């Protein structure tokens, strides 16, 4: 069984540019989460999808971040325009219904460096 796949593994962009991160969850996993780890800090929740619906986006930092999950399969997280403080590792995780947050499988993460 394929795990959670994230792309790209590392992205280096300049302040003001746009980056789109992609996550392919495990097949059949309705729940999809985005988390972020900024250097030296803890992993923090960004948002939660159930299929294509946003269930909780309370962790999204501001309106420069846009997450989508069209069709309830893969998800994208766009940062536009990127700022220096957006640098960090963005993790995607998925779980099957009804496990929810109790049994998360994480991807390897997408490291974002904003210069």
Partner 1 sequence: QKEVEQNSGPLSVPEGAIASLNCTYSDRGSQSFFWYRQYSGKSPELIMFIYSNGDKEDGRFTAQLNKASQYVSLLIRDSQPSDSATYLCAVRTGFQKLVFGTGTRLLVSP
C-alpha distances in Å from residue 110, one per residue of 38, 54, 78: 12, 21, 12
User: Is residue 41 near partner 1 by the rule CB under 8 A?
Assistant: yes
Distance CA 71, CA 12 (A): 29
User: Is residue 60 near partner 1 by the rule CB under 8 A?
Assistant: no
Distance CA 14, CA 60 (A): 21
Q: Which is nearer to partner 1, 58 or 63 (CB)?
A: 58
Distance CA 82, CA 58 (A): 20
User: Is residue 109 near partner 1 by the rule CB under 8 A?
Assistant: yes
Q: Which is nearer to partner 1, 44 or 51 (CB)?
A: 44
User: Is residue 33 near partner 1 by the rule CB under 8 A?
Assistant: yes
CB-based contacts of 15: which residues, under 8 Å, 6+ apart? 81, 82, 83, 84, 114, 115
User: Is residue 1 near partner 1 by the rule CB under 8 A?
Assistant: no
Q: Which is nearer to partner 1, 16 or 111 (CB)?
A: 111
Q: How many residues bind partner 1 (CB under 8 A)?
A: 27
Contact segment (CB under 8 A) with partner 1 among 11-19, 21-29, 44-52, 72-80 equals 44-52
């Amino acid at each position: 069984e394929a795990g959670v796949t994230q792309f790209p593994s590392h992205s280096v962009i300049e302040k003001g540019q746009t980056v789109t991160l992609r996550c392919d969850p495990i097949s059949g996993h309705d729940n999809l989460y985005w988390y972020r780890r900024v250097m030296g800090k803890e992993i923090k929740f960004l948002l939660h999808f159930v299929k294509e619906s946003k269930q909780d986006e309370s962790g999204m930092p501001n309106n420069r971040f846009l997450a989508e999950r069209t069709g309830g399969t893969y998800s994208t997280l766009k940062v536009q325009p990127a700022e220096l403080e957006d640098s960090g590792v963005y993790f995607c995780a998925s779980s099957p219904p009804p496990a929810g947050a109790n049994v998360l499988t994480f991807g390897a993460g997408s490291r974002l460096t904003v210069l």
